[in-house]
Amino acid sequence: MLMTGEQYIESLRKLKTRVYMFGEKIDNWVDHPMIRPSINCLAMTYELAHDSQYKDLMTAESSLIGGKVNRFTHLHQNSEDLVKKVKMQRLLGQKTASCFQRCVGLDAFNAVYSTTFEVDKKYGTHYHENFVEYLKYIQENDLTVDGAMTDAKGDRSLSPSQQADPDLFVHIVERKPDGIVVKGMKCHQTGSINSHEHLVMPTIAMAEADKDYAVSFSCPSDADGLFIIYGRQSCDTRKLEEGADVDLGNKQFGGQEAVVVFDNVFIPNKNIYLCGEVEFAGMLVERFAGYHRQSYGGCKVGVGDVIIGAAALATDYNGTGKASHIKDKLIEMTHLNETLYCCGIACSAAGYPTKAGNYQVDLLLANVCKQNVTRFPYEIVRLAEDIAGGLMVTMPSEKDFKSDLKVGKNGESIGDICNKYFVGAPVCTTEERMRVLRFLENICLGSSAVGYRTESMHGAGSPQAQRIMIARQGNIEGKKKLAKDIAGIKNRD
């Protein structure tokens, strides 16, 4: 069943997910003004699947249940699927100018699917069978799943089992005949509140002493013992202001990050996909990271398209569009954005089949993609801020522009004065100019920055994480041999 956006939103109301914000429990979190924009973003992944113009990107033929499923629940069957994933993500970035949150689950599906196959092959376990049945359930009901990987980590110089507090990494606290009990916390969780289910994975490669931490499982978002604490974003309380509109920048859409606490949550055997097989923790992390770093060559590019468009509008409204240096900055922004897209497409086109049969991206190119994403969006934002001008961050509030309070000697109101002195070129009204500048503020510095600028740095791993993978995948020894062969240098005994 392919849900519509409205059906998705209504399905969230049936959950009993425990959500906390500002030290209080939020009962109606679906309609909370700070949370709803992120729900609207995710709803777009459902809505576009019913649009004939986008069905080819948004849906796929399921290899598990047959028939059409939302591509966000799909197992990649070939390189074309990987390419379509990136194109789909760019489309959604263009439609929302924010994080639409469903990518993490998709990337987790494909990583867990191939890894469990190889665990079962070595140990004769039933993890792959468990996961296939779980994914069938997800596809049949078109559910959203939060892929949960990042732990609190505590002292980064210590392994999970060496931490002073064992709960700093999610771990098994009890083993029972019918399942396990887990405890810990996953942080930086994108769209966790908006998800029907959570799919948990280890966050790093592990040694034998870390067996209790080498665990992967799934559970409903309203499972007993699971609760979520909403993460703050810059300018987030603007959404709580009465009648807020222009000052929000991106009123309809927004990102979402939270911490997910597992307080002695019971996981039945059928929902366990890794349970102590430490040598496969690194494989699962590496494969998930590859998929998720590929994702950034799509979603961040789509948002980048909107930033470039907003910056170009700002030049029109400021009356600077004909300046050669402005044109050059827009060209540079476009060049950087399309370079990121090239990386996302390249690692997809070079994908290859796993032993389980689904397709994996080229890991070297995926890490090159994300390494560029840690840099280029910062330059794109810098240029957008340069083009917009200082008014983007010093402008009076929307209420000032609408104020009737008389302050001028000739009876002018605060609103009259703001609208008079902040007028731009004749092609726009003062409000239109204000709207595009507020939008750029929101996406470059405000609550949407978590879905673009800052997330470009830390999402899917820090820059150093990609450099480590590039070093592993770069085949320097092979390149040395190429140079030796051409230079006529023979190998020494």
Is 8 tagged catalytic? no
Say if strands 197-200 and 215-220 run parallel, antiparallel, or are unpaired: antiparallel
Using CA atoms, how far apart are residues 251 and 402, in angstroms rounded to an integer?
Answer: 18
Q: For residue 8, give the amino acid letter.
A: Y
Active site residue: 41, 299, 343, 428, which one? 299
Token representation of residue 378: 């910062």
Q: Give the Cα separation of 405 and 283 in Å (integer).
A: 64
Among residues 376, 381, 458, the alpha carbon closest in space to that of 97 is found at 381
Backbone angles phi, psi at 32, to 5 degrees: -65, 130
Residue 213 tokens, joined: 């931490």
Residue-wise pLDDT tens digits, 379-416: 999 999 999 999 999 999 999 999 999 999 999 999 99
Task: Determine the average pLDDT of the residues in 4-31.
Answer: 98
How sure is the predictor about 454, in pLDDT bands with cuts at 50, 70 and 90? Answer: confident
Q: What is the largest CA-CA distance in the chain?
A: 94
DSSP secondary structure code for residue 52 in this structure: T
User: 99 catalytic, yes or no?
Assistant: yes
Of the pLDDT bands very low, low, confident and very high (cuts 50, 70, 90), residue 451 is confident
Query: What average pLDDT score do residues 37-59 get?
Result: 98
The reported pLDDT for the residue numbered 224 is 98
Residues 309 and 239 in one domain: no
22 conformational bin, left if phi > 0, alpha if psi -120 to 50, beta if neither: left
Residues of the domain holding 301: 286-478
Q: Is there a single domain that holds both residue 346 and residue 260?
A: no
Q: Do 293 and 281 fall within a single domain?
A: no
Q: What is the pLDDT of residues 332-370, one digit of tens each?
A: 999 999 999 999 999 999 999 999 999 999 999 999 999
| Domain count for the chain | 2
Decide if pLDDT at 493 tops 90. Answer: no
Q: Report whether pLDDT(75) > 90.
A: yes
332/433 same-domain check? yes
pLDDT at 491: 86
pLDDT tier, 297 (very low <50, low <70, confident <90, very high otherwise): very high
- From 134, 296, 359, 452, the catalytic residue: 296
Residue 251: pLDDT band with limits 50, 70, 90: very high
Say what the pLDDT of residue 376 is: 98
Exactly one of 47, 118, 257, 286 is catalytic; name it: 257
Q: Alpha carbon 151 to chain centroid distance? A: 16
| Spatial distance between the Cα atoms of 219 and 199, rounded to a whole number of angstroms | 7
Q: Is the domain of 324 the same as that of 426?
A: yes
Query: Checking DSSP bridges between strand 24-25 and strand 59-61, what pairing results, if any?
Result: unpaired
What is the rounded distance in angstroms from the CA atom of residue 6 to the CA atom of residue 42? 11
- 1-21: average pLDDT: 97
Residue 12: Cβ within 10 Å count: 19
When pLDDT is cut at 50, 70 and 90, the band that residue 453 belongs to is confident
Strand positions, DSSP E, 162-205: 171-176, 179-190, 197-200
Say how far apart CA 53 and CA 177 lie, in whole Å.
50
Instruction: Evaluate whether 453 touches 414 at the Cβ level (below 8 Å).
Output: no
Residue 450 pLDDT class (50, 70, 90 cuts)? confident
Do 150 and 53 fall into the same domain? yes
Mean pLDDT to the nearest integer, 121-148: 98
Report the C-alpha dihedral over residues 281, 282, 287, 292, rounded to 10 degrees.
90
Write down the pLDDT at residue 1: 85
Catalytic residue chosen out of the listed positions 118, 197, 277, 455: 455
Please check whether residues 20 and 110 belong to one and the same domain: yes
Confidence of residue 81 (pLDDT cuts 50, 70, 90): very high
Kindly state the tokens that stand for 48.
Answer: 């576009």
Predicted local distance difference test score (pLDDT) of residue 336: 98
418 catalytically annotated: no
Q: Is residue 357 part of a domain?
A: yes
Nearest to 149 by CA among 369, 374, 460, 362: 460
Catalytic-role residue among 292, 374, 385, 452: 292
**Same structural domain, 365 and 440:** yes
Amino acid found at 163 = Q
Return the pLDDT at 32: 98
Query: Which residue is catalytic, options 190, 203, 315, 354?
Result: 190
Question: Is residue 491 assigned to a domain?
Answer: no
Question: Is residue 376 domain-resident?
Answer: yes
- Per the prediction, the chain carries an average pLDDT of 97
pLDDT for position 357: 98
User: How confident is the model over 153-173, as a mean pLDDT?
Assistant: 97
Using pLDDT thresholds of 50, 70 and 90, give the confidence band for residue 446: confident
Looking at the DSSP assignment, which residues form a beta bridge with residue 259?
229
Interatomic CA distance for residues 227 and 262, integer angstroms: 7
Last residue of a domain, one of 237, 270, 285: 285
Total number of residues shown for the chain = 493
Instruction: For residues 123 and 241, state if they share a domain.
Output: yes
Query: How far apart, in whole angstroms, are the C-alpha atoms of residue 8 and residue 14?
Result: 10
pLDDT > 70: percent of the chain: 100
| Catalytic pick among 99, 219, 343, 428 | 99
Render 454-486 in DSSP notation, one character per residue.
HHHHHTTS-HHHHHHHHHHHS-HHHHHHHHHHH
Give me the CATH number covering residue 304: 1.20.140.10
Whether residue 263 is found in the same domain as residue 387: no
Tell me, yes or no, if the pTM score tops 0.85: yes
Cα Rg, the chain, nearest whole Å: 24
Average of pLDDT values for 5-18? 98
* Domain end call among 285, 319, 338: 285
Cβ neighbours around 64 below 10 Å, total: 16
H or E element at residue 75: none
Active site (annotated) includes residue 299: yes
User: Which tens digit of pLDDT belongs to each residue from 431-443?
Assistant: 999 999 999 999 9
Cβ pair 86, 243 in contact under 8 A: no
- Catalytic residue, chosen from 32, 74, 103, 144, is 103
Q: Are the C-beta atoms of residues 59 and 97 closer than 8 Å to each other?
A: no
For residue 492, being part of any structural domain is answered with: no
Burial 288-301 (b: 16+ CB within 10 A, else e): bbbbbbbbbbbbbb
Reported as a single tens digit per residue, the pLDDT across 95-122 is 999 999 999 999 999 999 999 999 999 9
Q: What is the pLDDT of residue 289?
A: 97
Q: Which residues contact 123 (CB under 8 A, 6 or more apart)?
A: 277
Model confidence at 448: pLDDT above 80: no
Q: Which CATH number fits the domain that encloses residue 68?
A: 2.40.110.10
Q: Is 292 labeled as catalytic in the residue annotation? A: yes
Residue 44 predicted with pLDDT over 90: yes
CA gap 463, 121 in Å, rounded? 34
